[in-house]
Structure 1
Amino acid sequence: MAEHQIVKPEKLAATAVGMLEQELLIPNLFQKEGVDQFKGADNDTISVKVEGVLPFHDYAWRNDRSAPIVFDEYKERKIAVTFGGNVYSAVKVTDEQNDFDLENWGKLLRPQAKAVARGLQRRAVNTLTGQTYNVVIGGTEAKLRAAIVEARRVLNAFHAPDDNRYMLVGTDFESALLNDEKLNLASNVGDSEAESALTTAKIANRMGFTIVVDQTIPADAAYAFASSAFIFLSGAPSVPQSVPYGATTSFEGIAARWVRDYDPLYMQDRSVVNTYAGFRSVTDVLVGWDGATNSEVVSAGEHFVRGIKLTLGGTSTYPAVGTELAELTGVSTANKWPAAEGGV
């Protein structure tokens, strides 16, 4: 008779967080950060210093020195970031289940990891769909290719980072894309069970976007954004000293804890998988050009410019002419969709 193999909690915790990472879709599109800097912070809030932005100036060559150079005041920004959220799955396993039904604890960890992943996914969806977008490209169903080109134009004009750009589409939006002959898309769903949710959700790469489908966002909507537009904060709670069997681990920027103990009063094990989590969007100070004064201008306010929204129906919304965002980027109601794409 073979001896029982003792599985270390660290290995099971690694198994749980690996499964968790595979199940995540939208949180894996966000930039990931840890939570150590929040420990000990008042009200779980820290002030993050952001480097200031300064304009350049031009001093005329061989001028008569009758005018002094211009001095600017340098100011760093402080962004208040609040962390909060404890997503978990807890299961009780009786002695009978442990002896006759449950082959190994790894089998139990899979549905627990899936449950935690759905919780993180829902919070990410709420962050994405609840964001106020400065540009909404509406009525895209008839001209999807041109709409994607317009989304690229707007993000470029907004100076959004051009690496790791995603277009997350709902199910109806996906169908419209796959049926559009001008795009010539082919679904790239994998067959392997071990493939991650992000891998199987990818449709194609077009116009600098990795196009991904998701069933939890509005079916007729799409969101084009740089990965850095949203932050996914993740951290593993520490294992209490009173728990003899537990561990924390991290994988691909995601941290989680697994603990297991026994309740003798009810003769059952208790298994808990959980992670600290938080989500936030990123705003920017913009730099533009003032043609009237022939000088560079730094925005007085902060703007969310790393993402925009698209809809199959509805109308488009753009910054009003004369507003700071329109003046600095050139994106406004004066050149909004569909006029901006010239009827392509």
Structure 2
Amino acid sequence: MAQHQIVKPEKLAATAVGMLEQELIVPSLFQKEGIDQFKGADNDTISVKVEGVLPFRDYAFRNDRSQPIQFDEYSERKIAVTFGGNVYSAVKLTDEQNDFDIDNWSKLLRPQVKAVARGLQRRAVDTLTGQTYNVTIGNAQANLRGALIEARRVLNKFNVPEGDRYLLVGSDFETALLSDDKLNLAQNVGDSEAESALRNATIGQRYGFRIVVDQTIPGDAAYAFAGSAFIFLSGAPSVPQSVPYGATTSFEGVALRWVRDYDPLYMQDRSVVNTYAGFRSVKDVLVGYNSVGKTEVISTQEHFVRGIKLSLDGSSDYPAAASELAQITGISDAKVWTPTGFKAETDPANA
């Protein structure tokens, strides 16, 4: 007769966090950060320093030295970041269930991990859909290829890094993309076996975007953004000393804690899986160039430019031409994309 094998909690916790990472879609598209810097912070809020921006200047070669060079003041930006949120799943398991129904704890961990994953997914989607976007590309269904090319142009004008760009689409938007012969995405579906929820949700790559479908965002919407546009903070709570069976671990930037104890009054085990989580968007100071004065221009305000929104119907919305964002990037309502061309070029009223 074989001896019972004792499974260490660290091994089960590692299995659990691996399963959690496999279940995530939207949070996996965000830049991940840990929580060590938040420990001991007042009101769980810290100030994150962001590198300052300085303009370059020219000094005429062989000039008469009648004017001095110009000095600029350098200062770093500080972003207040509040960490909060404790996503968990707690289950009670009776002696009878433990003896006759559940043959191993990993079977119980899987539905618990899925519940935590859904909680993280919902919070990530709330952050994504609740963001105020400076550009919305509307009526994309009339010219999907043109809308994707325009999304690329806008992000390029916003100087968004080309690496790790995503196009997250709703279910109706996905159907429209797969039905468009010009994009030819349908052949990519099912090309490779799904190893995770994110890989299974990826339907192809076009114009520098990894196109991912998600069922929890509005069906007629899509969001084009860089992975650095949003931050996903994750951390595992400490295991209390009073709990004899528990562990914390992390995998691919996602941390998790699992604790288990026994309640003798009711003759049942208790299993709790949880993680600290927080989400936020990232704004930038913009740098432009004044071709007339031959000088650089630095924005006085921070702007969210690492992501834009697309919609199957409705109209496009661009920044006002007089705004600081439009003046620096060149993206403005003076030239708005439509399925048949730019509005400024096709509509005499906006010429």
Give TM-score, length-normalised by structure 2. Answer: 0.95
Q: Is the 8 A contact 1:321 1:333 kept in 2?
A: yes
Q: Secondary structure at the match of 2:103?
A: coil
1:188 partner amino acid: V
Q: Secondary structure at the match of 1:333?
A: coil
How far residue 53 of structure 1 moved from its aligned partner, in angstroms, is 0.0
Pair 1:19-2:47 in alignment: no
Q: Is the 8 A contact 1:233 1:279 kept in 2?
A: yes
1:3 partner amino acid: Q
2:300 partner amino acid: A
State the partner residue of 1:268: 268
State the partner residue of 2:159: 159
How far residue 61 of structure 1 moved from its aligned partner, in angstroms, is 1.4
State the partner residue of 1:299: 299
How far residue 293 of structure 1 moved from its aligned partner, in angstroms, is 2.1
State the partner residue of 1:110: 110
State the partner residue of 2:196: 196
Hey, what's the Cα distance between the residues in 2 that align with 1:198 and 1:340?
Answer: 34
The one-character-per-residue Cα deviations of 1:155-205 (angstroms, maximum 9, x if unpaired) are: 000001110000000000000000011101124347857x21000000000
State the partner residue of 2:125: 125
State the partner residue of 2:332: 332
State the partner residue of 1:56: 56
Between the two proteins, the alignment pairs up a number of residues equal to 342
Hey, what's the Cα distance between the residues in 1 that align with 2:182 and 2:193?
Answer: 30
The one-character-per-residue Cα deviations of 1:213-266 (angstroms, maximum 9, x if unpaired) are: 000000000000000000000000000000000000000000000000000000
Q: Secondary structure at the match of 2:337?
A: coil
How far residue 308 of structure 1 moved from its aligned partner, in angstroms, is 0.2
Q: Is the 8 A contact 1:190 1:200 kept in 2?
A: no
How far residue 78 of structure 1 moved from its aligned partner, in angstroms, is 0.5
Hey, what's the Cα distance between the residues in 1 that align with 2:342 and 2:267?
Answer: 68
Q: Secondary structure at the match of 2:258?
A: strand
Hey, what's the Cα distance between the residues in 2 that align with 1:84 and 1:139?
Answer: 37
- Sort the Cα spacing of 1:180 and 1:323 in 2 relative to 1 into closer, same or farther, 3 A: same
The one-character-per-residue Cα deviations of 1:63-112 (angstroms, maximum 9, x if unpaired) are: 22222211111111000000000000000000000000001000000000
CA RMSD of aligned residues (A): 1.3
Structure 1 alignment gaps of length 5 or more: none
State the partner residue of 2:175: 175
Hey, what's the Cα distance between the residues in 1 that align with 2:90 and 2:189?
Answer: 35
Pair 1:308-2:305 in alignment: no
Pair 1:237-2:243 in alignment: no
State the partner residue of 1:9: 9
Percentage identity across aligned positions?
Answer: 76
Q: Secondary structure at the match of 2:109?
A: helix
State the partner residue of 2:285: 285
Hey, what's the Cα distance between the residues in 1 that align with 2:149 and 2:71?
Answer: 40
Q: Secondary structure at the match of 2:173?
A: helix
Q: Secondary structure at the match of 1:334?
A: coil
Structure 2 alignment gaps of length 5 or more: 347-351
